[in-house]
């Protein structure tokens, strides 16, 4: 019975997961318009999903400059700590664990989505050739400011301070978003990093920013509570690299060297790269697989050793009690595409029916 594999406990660094079902990080754009705080709907939404062995939050900016999207939450100040504390308390009370995904968007974003006076920073002054949603419709992403040496020092420290705040807010861990072309990926990829200092050029140099950030996170909360999210070869957000397999292989070697607690790899057959096999080849810690899994496939992948745990995204949007539904073999609610992003209230967010609510 492969479902038993999926429901068996797992040690991930210092975290003891009650099962191997992970809630995937998902931006839902419902933080407060004024101050990027989460609210009571987030508290309910995440507590409803505490049946997962580990929840990874939606991408959360470590600093106001790092915000890219409309209405994403931050972990940049004491108000954010207080707001997130209510969420982590609710998840813990419901018997779950929750890690904060730190997402510094770098050049991905638009001034319309960010607070006045914030900057759009990136390794080089190269705009992502892509559009982004704003309150005024889809807009082209602007050319970012190339980071100076002191900007880099400041952002590395910002990550460390954000991780300290995560600890204060009661999070059990932190996931560093290195996938999908955000700031860490912008340093890594040859297409977005044209620097000639020690942060650009060779692969060794392009890895240095992430290495410094991992060290800052480690000092703040300990490496046994840190994971990395990767999606080698994913062209999203104009993320272009000359040799993604080699680049991400080197990042995985770094994760191994530093003793990072988990790798959360999005599998993407369209890239031609087997991100799970690549992870296994370079990294011996816990591997969480992501993308379009069913419970059966997840259990079989764990049983054959391809992954140690599996994250579920869209299924968790529509099925708060997903683990129970897996145990019973369904049924599964359908996701309402109209309410994926945005909105103030519970609709399409924390009002999906639980099994016990069914007739």
Binding residues vs ligand FMN (CB under 6 A): 24-27, 58-59, 101, 177, 179, 229, 266, 290-292, 312-315, 340
| Catalytic site residue from 69, 159, 182, 248 | 182
How many angstroms separate the CA atoms of 219 and 54, rounded? 22
When the beta carbons of 124 and 235 are compared against ligand FMN, the nearer one is 235
For the CB of residue 128, give the shortest distance to ligand FMN in the complex, in Å.
16
Supply 120's token pair: 């759009």
Task: Tell me the backbone φ, ψ of residue 216, rounded to 5 degrees.
Answer: -65, -40
Q: What are the phi and psi torsion angles at 118 (to 5°)?
A: -80, 160
Which tokens go with 256?
Answer: 């191994």
Nearest residue to 73 (alpha-carbon basis) of 40, 108, 103: 103
Question: Which structure tokens are listed for 172?
Answer: 């059990």
Residue closer to ligand FMN (CB basis): 179 or 221: 179
Nearer Cβ to ligand FMN, position 120 or 311? 311
DSSP secondary structure string for all residues of 152-190: HHHHHHHHHHHHHHHHHTT-SEEEEE-STTSHHHHHH-T
State the DSSP string of 334-357: PP-GGGSS--SSSTTTT-PPPGGG
Q: How far is CA 184 from the centre of its chain?
A: 12
Of the pair 177, 280, the CB lying nearest ligand FMN is at: 177
The verdict on whether 352 is a catalytic residue reads no
Question: Minimal CB distance to ligand FMN: which residue?
Answer: 313
CB of 204 to ligand FMN, least distance (A): 26
* Minimum CB–partner distance for residue 264 and ligand FMN (Å): 8
- What is the set of active-site residues? 182
């Amino acid at each position: 019975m492969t479902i038993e594999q999926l429901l068996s406990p797992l040690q991930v660094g210092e975290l003891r997961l009650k099962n191997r079902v992970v809630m995937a990080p998902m931006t839902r754009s419902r933080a407060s318009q004024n101050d990027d705080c989460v609210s009571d709907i987030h508290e309910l939404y995440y507590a409803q999903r505490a049946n997962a062995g580990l929840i990874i939050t939606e991408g959360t900016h470590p600093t106001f400059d790092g915000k890219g999207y409309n209405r994403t939450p931050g972990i940049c100040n004491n108000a954010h700590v207080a707001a997130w504390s209510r969420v982590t308390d609710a998840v813990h009370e419901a018997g779950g664990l929750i890690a904060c995904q730190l997402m510094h968007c770098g050049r991905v974003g638009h001034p319309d989505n960010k607070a006045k006076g914030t900057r759009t920073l990136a390794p080089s002054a190269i705009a992502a050739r892509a559009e982004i949603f704003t309150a005024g419709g889809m807009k082209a992403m602007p050319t970012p400011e190339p980071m100076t040496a002191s900007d880099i020092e400041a952002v590395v420290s910002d990550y460390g301070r954000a991780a300290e705040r995560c600890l204060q807010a009661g999070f059990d861990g932190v996931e560093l978003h290195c996938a999908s072309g955000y700031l860490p990926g912008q340093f890594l990829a040859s297409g977005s990093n044209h620097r000639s200092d020690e942060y650009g050029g060779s692969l060794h140099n392009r890895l240095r920013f992430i290495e410094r950030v991992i060290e800052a996170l480690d000092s703040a909360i300990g490496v046994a509570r840190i994971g990395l999210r990767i999606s080698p070869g994913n062209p999203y957000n104009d993320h272009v690299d000359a040799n993604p397999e080699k680049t991400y292989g080197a990042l995985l070697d770094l994760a191994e060297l530093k003793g990072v607690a988990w790798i959360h790899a999005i599998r993407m057959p369209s890239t031609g790269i087997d991100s799970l096999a690549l992870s296994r080849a370079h990294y011996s810690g816990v591997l969480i697989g992501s993308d379009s899994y069913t419970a059966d496939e997840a259990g079989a992948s764990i049983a054959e050793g391809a992954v140690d745990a599996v994250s579920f995204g869209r299924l968790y949007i529509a099925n708060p009690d997903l683990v129970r539904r897996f145990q019973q073999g369904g049924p599964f609610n359908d996701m309402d595409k109209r309410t994926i992003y945005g909105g103030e209230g519970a609709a399409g967010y924390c009002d999906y029916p639980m099994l016990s609510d069914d007739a």
